[in-house]
Structure formats: structure tokens, C-alpha cells
Amino acid sequence: MSMNVQPDLEFIKAMKVAGGDTLKQCYQCATCSVACPLSSDGDPFPRREMILAQWGMKDKLLADPNVFLCHQCGDCTEMCPRGAKPGDVLGAIRAYAYEHYGWPSGLAKLCTSVKNLPMLIGIPAVTVFVLWLISGGMHIPSGEQFAHVGFTQFFGHWDFRLLAKNVLFIDVIMLSALGIAVYSLYQAISTMWGKMEENLGVGELNYRPSATLFIKDFLWPSLKEIVGHGRFRECTVNQDRVRGHLPLMLAFIGLFIVTCYSLFTQDVIGIFIPSMHGPISMWNPVKLLANVSAVAMLVGIGILWMNRAQMEAAGKATNTFYDWFLIWMIAGVGITGLAAELLRLVGIPSLGYVVYYLHLVSVMMLFLYLPYTKFAHIVYRTFAMAFERYRESAYVKDPLND
Amino acid sequence: MSNTAGNGAVLVVGGGISGLTAALEAAEVGNDVFVIDKNPYFGGRVAQLNQYFPKLCPPTCGLEINFKRLKDNRKIRSYSMTTVKSVSGGPGNFTVELETAPRFVNSNCTACGDCAAACTDEIDDPFNFGMRKIKAAYLPHEMAFPRRFVLAKDACSDECLAAVKASCKYNAIDTEMQTETFTLQVSSIIWSTGWNPYEAEKIDNLKFNSSPAIITNMMMERLAADNGPTAGKILRPGDDKEPESFAFVQCAGSRDENHMEHCSYICCMATFKQISYIREQYPEAKIYVFYIDLRTPGKYESFREKFTADENTTFIKGKVADIIAEGDGGVTVVAEDTLSAKKIQQKVDMCVLATGMKPAMEQGEQLGLTVDGNGFIVSEPEKGMISAGCAKAAVDVYSSGQSSTAAALKAIQIGR
């Protein structure tokens, strides 16, 4: 069998930038595929991904769910006889995939380099600031008022009962950012799913699951598995990451619930009962959840931060912007969020408003850059895990003839 | 000044096949030669092999003639159980401090074996990698040269020592023997310190100590050797089962920056050779060879072809990265077959780790040698320090012979 391989030099260069510069060390002994606790018998990784990357065969890699099934626990890197760091290389391939599938491509490209950091911070910083100017809410409240309304009149206040001014501005900022992200991810996952299906080499499929069946059979079991952190726990050399990642993930879920609650009480019930506006009481169980989540978030990201720094110091991981950017963003959200709340409680409106502004900037960053940064793994990996179930299902495998 | 200084005397450190060759070559052209070995016998690793390349001779074949040449040559003095403590001076005028460990048996010994018969304590047989127990008063192996017993005094109780002493008709047992140091003046030094099998227990994922069914390739040589612990029958250590299946794990510790970065050169060939041992005893046994690359340099290619054609031998391109001990005494080896891109879990009765060559010299730098990144000694004839055989690079016996002759040629040019 002959094979015409056209190496893609741009791809190999992108690998090097994203921390996969050890790629060329690999001599295909396949120790990594056995070391990896997540790699299956029938479709092991990352050995195959290593040679595809060496050959610059990005089309195969972009259609390979294994790339996203990897949790980068580092077991393979630990045992690699050549120091090729397969864990880091797969991370670099994922970074490349987020950039490749990311829409709009300019924004995706922006997220690949530390050189663009001023711009990456600048976009949300200017957006929030300009909207603050437009809103005309540009004044620092008195201590008394601050204690009463907190940050709920950051963008000012009007008497239109159905939609608070502050809510409108926050929605404009955050829902736009999130909207772009959701649309981008929808496009990306659809394209990737198509490529992954094509890559199975079984031709056109006769039957497809309905959306409901897809969620029930493939997506929901994957989500349950993710929450349980079962695969993460399989890792051996880097167990500490579970201790950081699990509280962090639960914090995000907690804060998501709080946001939904707050949205509902303030912006729906608040229409009828105006007293629902303003900060939630500290004794409200939801507020308790919010505070616990905020602390869990800081603890989680702190553990991950230290863990990563230690791994890099020990030469077991490569220092990349791709890895650090997400850690910085999440730490930023957590610190500014909690600091803004504390400043509200101690009643320092001026500093409180500055910190709250930074909080809005960091939250917008997290939303806007979701599809292009390491944060995208929450969507890509979930769907890769769903695909892993899908390819083993009767939709793909003929249960009678295979 | 000693009578040998400036006379071109050569010290050969290590009396395996390389050291013996270099010593004989230098002595037979008229130089004074001192050859030392840290073991109580000469012959080194070759003595432990069942058969050796290139012609699959038993070790007696090459060693016996060399021992005879050595005994017949008045120019050579040999010291067993001896190591180098320090080296000073320069080319043409080295002063070397040496140390001889106590053997507790003097030159009266006739190797009659009465002491072993009287000895009540036992030790793990070092020559057979601990695969059997032997008496603490022992001849290292059948063709040991010098043909003299060794007493492992530390392993013996006082009663045992008394019995051993009493049993010797020739008054050869000397339990008061001390470590001796002495000095040599030589013109050049040939370092033929050879190699040790890489410590298999250091390769965590291969779990060498988890099952007696996991052995190293050097243990396989002993199992196949007539003078080995099983009298040449390949049996599984532990339960003496006749194995029906074997797995060979190539590159166990070699080509691995966590262990030894270099390729040990001969392990692929050693595996083919050991397949020939198995085939002789078990014509139907299933054999699985897990490899990264099969390296059979030069004319060894034809030897390889003989076995790749064997229908009961399967070659799997993929390194074994996990071994699981099974309840029935066998083991399961796990690898990815990189050609089919599927993981393989192969259950076998016995598993042979093709452990590589670790340079035996560990304090080379203290002795003034230049050592490369893998621990091999760089040959520096201009400094009067010449390396040979596996001390210089991982090679086969044939190449060791060549490099030893070359080393002798360099050595005799110094101090003349």
C-alpha cells in the first residue's frame, strides 16, 4: 500500500507554538497508548495521533474524537521513553482544532498568542466601558445607596418597570458575547461531527437519532460521566488535578444555577414585586450556594494553578499561553467577583465599582473566548464523548452483521 | 621506579572476552600485561551465555583457548577479585592503586570440592542470577578460571566456617584473609569493564518482581545453558512448568530516556538466538516478540529471516508497556500493535525482558576517564586511557574482539 503524504508545514509550526514542540521526538513505540488509562483497546491513542501530527495530517486529526477524549493527565508523558510529551502534543492539537473550527476566525486567531493579550483584554474592557458611558450611569453611589442596591444600578436606573436598565445593559453585553460563542460552537461541533462521521469510513448512515434520542442516548450519559469525573480519576501521575478540577466544575454549575435564579427572581418576578430587586439576602440558600461556589472556584483554580506551575517546573509540562490563559481568566472572574461582593459588604463604593467593572470585563472574556480557548473543551470533549458512544451504537455498527 | 615503568606495561581492567583479547594481543607482542577482574573468575558475560554470536558457540569454545594462551604466557599476570582504586600519573608512567578482595581460599586450592560438601550455609548463586541456591563455599562455575573455590564468609555461621576449614586437606581455607592493596606502574590502561544487565526492577511498568514468570534475557541464557540451574531445560522459574508460550519484550530499559538512552545493539539478536533455544526444546511453543524496530545489523539479517519465517512466532510492532501477573503463574503483556492500531493483551506462560547493556564502570570520572552521556568510556589513547568492548559501546562479541585488538595496538605504542 502506498500513501501520498503531503505534510502541512503550517500545522507543524502551529503545533510548536501551542506546546507540541517535542512532537518530533516520538519514535512510535506506543508506550503512551498503553500508559493512557482512557485509551480503548479497539481505538487506542495517543500513539496514532502522534504520527499523524508528525506527518502534518491535520485533516485526520481534526476528525479524531480521541484528540478530545484525552484529559491530559500526563500518564503518557511520564512514561514516554523519548520525552515527546504526547499529553502536551494532544493539548496542542486541541488548541489547533479550536482555532481551526472557531468562528469568526479573526477572534479565534487572536486567542492563540500571548502577544494579543492587550487586545484580548482590550475588547471587553472597551465594550463594557463604552456601554457604561452610553448608559449614563457613570457615577459612584453614596455609601447608603450602595448598601441598598449594591451593583444593581451600575448601569444606572430608570423607572421602566418591565426591564431594569442595568439588566438591559448586562444582557446586551453578556448575551451578545455568549450568543457569538454559542453560534460559533454550534457551527464548530456540527462541522466536526460531520468530519468524525466521515472518518469512520462506514459511508452514509441509514438511520440517525432524533434530537431527543441523541440527548438521551449519547449526550446525557456523557454529561453524567463528566460530572462524576470518572475518567479524570483514572489518571495516576496527576491525581491532584481532580482535586482542582472537580470543585471548579461544581462551582461553575453552582454559579449557573445562581445566575438562573437571579435572572428569574429579579427580572421576571421583580416585574411584579419590585422589592425583589437588589442584592440577594446573605441568608438566602441561593446566595449561600453562590458564595460557596465562589470559594470553590477560587480553591479549584488555585489548585490547578499551583499544579500546573509545579508540573512546568519539573519539566513535565510545557508552558503555553493556551493553558495559562484559561487559568488567568477563571482566576480573574473569581477574584474580582468575590472582591466586589466583599467591597459591597464593607461599603466602599468607589473601589467596589472599579472591581465590579473588572469583574464584568473578565466574565465577558470568559464568554466571548469560550469557543477558542482551552475553555472550549467543555463543549468539544462532551461531544467527543457523545461521539464515542455514538460510534459504538447501532446507528453506526450494524448489530447483525458486524 | 618500578621495573615495569616506561617498559610499555599494560593494565587491562576487566577480564571478559574483550579484556582477555586485549591482554593476549598486547602480551603476545612482548609487552608486560596485568589483567584484573572484579569477579572471582575471568570470562565475564560471555561465560554466562549459553551460546554466543556470531557462530552460536558455547562460551567454552572461545574462552578455553584464551585461558590456555593466558596461562602459557609468562608476560601476563592475572588478578581476580581485584578493582582499581586510583590512577595517577600520565601516559607512559601511570601509578595504579589496586585492591584485591579476600577470597578466603588461598592458592593451595585444588578445587576438590570437599569444602562445599562440608559447608552448611547457602547463598543465591550470583552466576545464575539467584535462580538457585549454592553452598557458600563454591566454584563460581564449571569452567571458572582461576580454578579455585570462593568462600562467602559473611553468609556463613561460625560452625559452618569451622566445618569448611576442617574439611580442607590442603589447608587452603584462610578465614582471616584481608583486603589487600597493591600498586602497579604501567604505561597505558585498557578499560574493558564491560556491562551489567540493566536492572529490570527499575522499569516500573514491566513489574519484574510481580511474577517469577518474568525473567531477563540473561536469565534465559542461564536457563538454556547445560551448566545452568535447570541443566539446560527451559522451565518457568517458580513452578518449573514447561512453558507453552513466550513473550519477548524488546528495548526493556534501552532507548528510553527514563532508563538508558542508547540502543543496546545486541538484544534483538539475543532474542532471535533465544527463539532458537526455545525451538530446540519446544517446537510448537507460541512466541510473541514485541519490538519498536528489529535491529539486526549487517550479516545478522539472514539470521533474522530464519525466524521471521517461523509460523509459530509472531512479531508485533509495539513496545510492551504493562505486564500483569496472572493467577495461573503466567503473565499478560499489554502493547499497542502499531500496524493494526489495536491494543493487544497477550497471555503467555513466560515473559523475557530483553534488558539492555548498562556500562559496568560507575566511577569512571573519579578515575580520570571521560565518560559519555550513556556511561560508556571514551577511548583516549593520547591520555593513555583506552576503552574496549562493551565498556566503549554496546556491541556484540565479534565487535568487542575487534575493538580489543585495536585497543591493544594503541596501548603498546605508549611508553615505548
Distance from CA of A43 to the nearest CA of B (A): 6
Q: Are B259 and B233 found together in one domain? A: yes
Helices (H) and strands (E) in chain A, counts: 20, 0
Q: Is residue B89 part of a domain?
A: yes
Question: Is B318–A30 a contact, with Cβ atoms under 8 angstroms apart?
Answer: yes
From CA A80, how far away is CA A47, in angstroms rounded? 11
Retrieve residue B301's grid coordinates: 539479517
Last residue of a domain, one of B356, B378, B396: B356
Amino acid at the residue A402? D
Contact predicate B184/B8, CB 8 Å? no
Write the Ramachandran bin of A142: left for phi over 0, alpha for psi from -120 to 50, otherwise beta: beta
Examine residue B173 and state whether it is found in any structural domain, yes or no. Answer: no
Same domain, B312 and B387: no
Grid coordinates belonging to B142: 564449571
Q: Which residues 6+ apart lie within 8 Å of B330 measured at CB? A: B213, B245, B347, B348, B349, B350
How far apart CA A364 and CA A367 sit, in angstroms, is 5
pLDDT for res B2 = 45
Residue A18 or A225, more confident: A225
Look at residue B400 and tell me if it is in a domain: yes
Residue B30 Rama label (left phi>0; alpha psi -120 to 50; beta) = left
Residue of A89, A178, A242, A233 whose CA lies nearest to A375: A178
Inter-chain residue contact A34 with B320, CB threshold 8 Å = yes
Task: Tell whether the model's pLDDT for residue A235 goes beyond 90.
Answer: no
Q: How many independent structural domains does chain B possess?
A: 3
> Which pLDDT value is given to residue B3?
47
Residues B207, B328 within the same domain? yes
Question: 10 Å Cβ neighbour count for A265?
Answer: 16
- Judgement on whether residues B232 and B329 belong to the same structural domain of the protein: yes
Q: What is the pLDDT of residue A236?
A: 81
Which residues on neighbouring strands pair with residue B291, listed in sequence order? B317
Asked whether the beta carbons of A89 and A46 are under 8 A apart, the reply is yes
CATH number at residue B367: 3.50.50.60
| pLDDT tier for residue A19 given thresholds of 50, 70 and 90 | confident
Structure-block grid coordinates of residue B364: 569512571
pLDDT in tens, chain B (416 residues): 344 445 789 999 999 999 999 999 999 999 999 999 999 999 999 999 999 988 899 999 889 999 999 999 999 999 999 999 999 999 999 999 999 999 999 999 999 999 999 999 999 999 999 999 999 999 999 999 999 999 999 999 999 999 999 999 999 999 999 999 999 999 999 999 999 999 999 999 999 999 999 999 999 999 999 999 999 999 999 999 999 999 999 999 999 999 999 999 999 999 999 999 999 999 999 999 999 999 998 888 988 988 888 999 999 999 999 999 999 999 999 999 999 999 999 999 999 999 999 999 999 999 999 999 999 999 999 999 999 999 999 999 999 999 999 999 999 999 76
Predicted local confidence at residue A44, as pLDDT: 95
Measured in angstroms, the CA of A383 and the nearest CA of chain B are apart by: 23
B328 within a domain of the structure (yes/no): yes
Q: Is B44 helix (H, G, I), strand (E, B) or coil?
A: helix
pLDDT tens readout for residues A317-344: 889 999 999 999 999 999 999 999 999 9
Residue B245: the pLDDT is 98
Are residues B219 and B318 part of one domain? Answer: yes
Contacts of B257 in chain A (CB under 8 A): 81-83
pLDDT score of A401 = 65
Q: Could you give the CA distance from residue B56 to residue A381 in angstroms, rounded to a whole number? A: 56
In single-letter form, the type of residue at position B5 comes to A
A31: chain B residues, CB-CB within 8 Å: 205, 319, 321
Inside any domain, residue B284: yes
For the record, the C-alpha cell of A220 comes out as 446525557
pLDDT digits (tens, 9 = 90+) for A345-397: 998 999 999 999 999 999 999 999 999 999 999 999 999 999 999 998 988 88
Question: 3-state SS of B59-75?
Answer: HHHHHHHHHHHHHHCCC
Predicted pLDDT at B416? 66
User: How does DSSP classify residue A268?
Assistant: I
B364 and B273 both lie in a single domain = no
- pLDDT at A269 > cutoff 60: yes
DSSP string, A203-263: -S-S----HHHHIIIIIHHHHHHHHHTHHHHH-STTTHHHHHHHHHHHHHHHHHHHHHHHH
Are residues B154 and B52 part of one domain?
no
Residue A178 pLDDT class (50, 70, 90 cuts): very high
Domain span holding position B34: 10-101+179-194+360-411
Q: Does A39 touch chain B (CB under 8 A)?
A: yes
Q: List phi, psi (to 5°) of B359.
A: -55, 130
Verify that B190 and B255 share a domain, yes or no: no
Q: In terms of domains, do B348 and B375 share one?
A: no
pTM value is 0.90
- Going by their DSSP bridges, the two strands B93-100 and B122-124 should be labelled as unpaired
Is residue B43 classed as helix, strand or coil in its secondary structure? coil
Q: State residue A278's pLDDT score.
A: 72
Is B2 among the domain residues? no
Shared domain check, B325 and B243:
yes
pLDDT-derived band of residue A402, with 50, 70 and 90 as boundaries? low
Chosen for mutation from A1, A26, A31 (greatest number of chain B CBs closer than 10 Å) is: A31
Residue of B104, B92, B91, B42 whose CA lies nearest to B69:
B42
**Are the beta carbons of A48 and B259 separated by less than 8 Å?**
no
State whether B294 and B372 are in the same domain. no
- Rounded to whole angstroms, the Cα distance separating A348 from A353 reads 9
> What mean pLDDT comes out for the span A187-198?
95
Is residue B221 included in any domain, yes or no?
yes
Task: State the number of CA atoms in the 13 A half-sphere of B273 facing the CB.
Answer: 25
Check if the beta carbon of residue A127 is closer than 8 Å to that of residue A364. yes
Closest CA–CA distance from residue B24 to any residue of chain A (Å): 40
- Cα distance between residue A303 and residue A281, in whole Å: 30
- Contact assessment for residue B193 and residue B360, using Cβ atoms and an 8 Å cutoff: yes
Do B315 and B251 reside in the same domain of the chain?
yes
- Interface probe for A, chosen from B336, B337, B338 (most Cβ of A below 10 Å), is B336
Partnered with residue B183 across adjacent β-strands are B97
Asked if the structure places residue B317 within a domain, the reply is yes
Q: What are the cell numbers at B247?
A: 513473550
C-alpha closest to that of A76 among A377, A388, A316: A316
